[in-house]
Amino acid sequence: MTPAIAASNLTYSYNNFSPPSLTDVNIALPPGSRTILVGANGAGKSTLLQLLAGKKLVNTPGAELTIKGQDVFRNSPPGVTFLGTEWAMNPVVRGDIVVSAFLDSVGGYRHKERRDLLLDILDVDLDWHMHQISDGERRRVQLCFGLMVPWDVLLLDEVTVDLDVLVRDDLLNFLKADSEARGATILCKYYALYPDFCDLTCQTDATHIFDGLNNFPTHVAHMRFGSFVTLPTPWTPNTDLGISLDTPTLYKLALQWLKEDRDYRRELEKNGQQVVRGARRNPAVPSDSETFYRKYDYSH
């Protein structure tokens, strides 16, 4: 079966001076899967999503990046939706335009049923003026606009971050049901802004009132320094991912992976293979600002 999303021999650098942001990435995601990418800040998650969306050209010899079997840059496949945060910065969507007029102007009438369902889920007021709403409200309008056209592959980069918890949960349930009903594929970043509802509502087992993020993915994957430490792997709360979790939830898994990332990085720092992060605490060495400002000190 042709994978919905595939990358092979993918190495990518933003410029010639810095190390690659992705190194030899090889993944294949089946149609209908919902994969969550876990990894520390800077691991390469957004870079991968943007490359898959065809927003940047990969020019490494031998690298291949396909969606539904088609090259994402040279032969852009139809039915791919990428939703990223930069949309909200666009002056057009911050202008004095009423939401109903905005949605009409982008063809909302062609997808009435999905548009209306999304308007309800995302709790959007059609009379809002785009320049007078909060970031989270603007994000809801973006999601309504971006998701009303049925997609085969959905690439989500951080767009659920500023939704309130209830709207986020309803949206995840919609996305899961939609992907199951149409066999559509989702790839997104994991954001641990708050624990899964499962963690909040019960301590001992996985039965809970809300589905939350825990039941959303079919696959989870772990990225570190531009590579996959764990390739996309089928996820159920009982999945054996080589870690011991008494009540495995996505939140606990992500926390454990991120701790491993930090330990790994600190080990590299100790061995001099990585620039040391955090404050510089050697008192014998004045900081740059101290050296500069000492000459202005009154006591001198």
Smallest distance, ligand ATP to C-beta of residue 14, A: 3
Of these, 45, 140, 168, 265, which contacts ligand ATP (CB under 6 A)?
45
Structure token pair of residue 85: 């945060």
For residue 267, the SS3 value is: helix
Asked if residue 21 binds ligand ATP (CB under 6 A), the reply is: yes
Instruction: Report how far apart, in Å, the C-alpha atoms of 123 and of each of 99, 117, 128 are.
Output: 12, 10, 11
Taking CB under 6 A as the binding criterion, the range among 1-9, 36-44, 60-68, 88-96 that sits at the site for ligand ATP is: 36-44
Per rule CB under 6 A, is residue 44 in the interface with ligand ATP? yes
Minimum separation from the CB atom of position 18 to ligand ATP (A): 6
Residue from 33, 35, 47, 142 binding ligand ATP (CB under 6 A): 47
* Among 8, 9, 46, 70, interactor with ligand ATP by CB under 6 A: 46
Closest distance between ligand ATP and the C-beta of residue 59, in Å?
15
| 18 forms part of the interface with ligand ATP (CB under 6 A) | yes
What whole-number distance in Å separates Cα of residue 219 and Cα of residue 223?
A: 13
d(CA 187, CA 207): 26
Closest approach of ligand ATP to the CB of residue 82, in Å: 14
C-beta of residue 11 within 8 angstroms of C-beta of residue 194: no
- Yes or no: say if 246 and 253 are a contact pair by the CB < 8 Å rule: no
Instruction: Identify which of 210, 191, 190 has the alpha carbon closest to the alpha carbon of residue 201.
Output: 210
In this structure, are residues 250 and 196 in contact, taking their beta carbons and an 8 Å threshold? Answer: yes
What is the nearest approach in angstroms of ligand ATP to the Cβ of residue 184? 23
Applying CB under 6 A, does 20 fall inside the site for ligand ATP? no
Question: Do the beta carbons of residue 150 and residue 185 sit within 8 Å?
Answer: no
Residue 63 to residue 13: CA distance in whole angstroms:
13
> Which residue, 44 or 108, has its beta carbon nearer to ligand ATP?
44
User: Does 160 help bind ligand ATP (rule: CB under 6 A)?
Assistant: no
Assigned token pair, 14: 């933003």
Cβ proximity to ligand ATP: between 41 and 282 the closer is 41
Segment contacting ligand ATP by CB under 6 A, of 23-31, 45-53, 161-169, 176-184: 45-53
Coil, helix or strand for 245?
Answer: coil
Given the complex with ligand ATP, which of 32 and 42 has the nearer CB atom? 42
Q: Which stretch binds ligand ATP (CB under 6 A): 39-47, 125-133, 169-177, 287-295?
A: 39-47
Ramachandran angles phi, psi of 49, nearest 5°: -65, -40
Nearer to ligand ATP, 31 or 42 (CB): 42
Output the CA angle 44-276-188, nearest 5 degrees.
15
**Which residues in this chain contact ligand ATP in the complex, by CB under 6 A?**
14, 18, 21, 39, 41-47
